[in-house]
Amino acid sequence: MMMMMMMMMMMTDDDDDDDDDDDDDDDDDDDDDNDDDNDDDMMMMMMMMMMMMMMMMMMMMMMMMMMMMMMMMMMMTTMTTTMTTTTSTTMTTILHKTWYEKISD
């Protein structure tokens, strides 16, 4: 009950005595401090979340890069093998052709 009365007094009597105003101010300061603490906590949470997100993004990027590198390597190997096989076959065919032609002559 006393608490309720105090709350009502604080809410209603703004221009009363100076002492009451001081009390109100003190209480306000306390509230502000609490708010600041909450804000700090929120900021910490946000920072943590951002860090986690950044880490996740970095991991994803790394994975993507690895995948891309692997794909590139695979593509390069396949490309080189195909290129060499095709060139070798064409070279052999050309050589055989010329060789056969020479022999026939």
What is the rounded average pLDDT of the residues 91-96? 68
CB-based contacts of 24: which residues, under 8 Å, 6+ apart? 10, 14
Res 66: pLDDT:
84
Res 88: pLDDT:
67
Whether residue 9 contacts residue 20, with contact meaning beta carbons closer than 8 Å, is answered with yes
pTM here?
0.33
pLDDT in tens, 62-77: 888 888 888 777 777 7
Q: Which pLDDT band holds residue 5 (cuts at 50, 70, 90)?
A: low
Enumerate the domain spans of the chain. 25-52
Rounded to whole angstroms, how far apart are CA atoms 90 and 11? Answer: 96
Q: Is the pLDDT of residue 105 over 80?
A: no
pLDDT in tens, 41-62: 778 888 888 888 888 888 888 8
**CA gyration radius, the chain:** 41
Residue 28 vs residue 47, higher pLDDT: 47
Three-state DSSP class for 72? helix
Residue where the block lists tokens 């950044």: 54
Rounded to whole angstroms, how far apart are CA atoms 78 and 40? Answer: 56
